[in-house]
Each structure stands twice: as C-alpha cells, then as structure tokens.
Amino acid sequence: MANLNKVMLIGRLTRDPEVRMFSNGGKVAKFGFAVNNRRKNQQTGQWEDEPVFLEVEAFNRGEFGKTADLVEQYLHKGSQVFIEGHLKFDQWTSQEGQKRTAIKVVLDNMQFLEPRADGGTGGQPRTYPPRQKDAPGAPPPSDFDPGSDPGERPMDPPPPGAGEENIPF
C-alpha cells in the first residue's frame, strides 16, 4: 500500500518565528500559521471563513538547506506564504504528568507571496525573454540550463491542427 505525507498550504504567520540553535550547529525556526476553510452558512446563505491554526517547523538541513535561515530573515507575523511540507506527530509528557500530542507541519519548501520590503518582486511571477525558433539539430541557446524545470519557461503553442488525428475519441 502506498503512503503520501505532503501538505501544501497558503496562509499567514500568526506570530514571528522563534529560532533555536542546536549544539551541532543546526537551526530550527518555529512559527504559527493560519489558513482559512470557506464554507457556506446554512442559515444565512453567506460564505464564512473558518480558520485553522497550525504549528510549523523549518530546519536547516544538510550543506545547502537553509530554510530556517530564510524563515528567520524574511518572514514575520502577518506574512503571506505558500508552504510545502509534511506532517509530523509529536508526543510528550507535560510538567503535570499528562500525555500530550500535536500534529505539526515540517517545512520542506516555501514561496513568498508578498513583495519584498526592499521593493523587490517577492512572489511575483518571473518573466522570461521570448523564445526564438531553434533549427532542428542546432545547439541549445547559451542561456539553456539542463537542470532547470521545463515548466518554468513558457512553451511555444503547437501549430494549428497538430496531433488532432491522434486523439482516441
């Protein structure tokens, strides 16, 4: 049986990130996050927002993982951000001796959705120069990056009628 543990959310921070350092040099940034579920009120017929509050943890992982540093540097209470992560189940015993549990989101990736304070574009979509028609067998353009995601660059539309005869229905 397959398993999938992935969370994708757009929301706002409910408090400034709290950052802690580990003795091995690692770092974790913890913050509150809120998203809204929209539902229609059966009595009034009006749409209402039902907030959901979550705890999120971001770690610096490996040589290149600096997610906690980015959270610490750029996010603050009220920041809107898209986050991708996975769920983690925590269990502990309180000081009163009661067993406690919580489900948290561990941040894997994020996208800023607001303009930067320094006037940058923040989460605005990137724009690319128009593509030129490449001759068959020609070398790739000088700005070609074989490691880039092909979905990041707009593709030329197919010629009219191309492939229509191959549609199986």
Tell me the pLDDT tens digit for each residue of 26-71. 899 999 999 999 999 999 999 999 999 999 999 998 767 799 999 9
The residue among 83 and 146 whose pLDDT is bigger is 83
How confident is the model at residue 159, as a pLDDT? 59
In terms of DSSP H, where are the helices of 75-122? Answer: none
For 133, which DSSP code? Answer: P
Residue 166 scores a pLDDT above 80:
no
What φ, ψ does residue 152 adopt, rounded to 5°? -80, -20
Q: Which residues does residue 133 pair with via DSSP β-bridges, in sequence order?
A: none
Distances in Å between the Cα of 155 and the Cα atoms of 72, 128, 130, 136, 165 are 36, 11, 10, 16, 22
The answer to whether residue 77 scores a pLDDT higher than 70 is yes
At residue 28, the 3 state secondary structure works out as strand
Instruction: Tell how strand 99-112 and strand 47-59 pair up.
Output: parallel
- pTM for the full predicted model: 0.66
Return mean pLDDT, the chain.
79
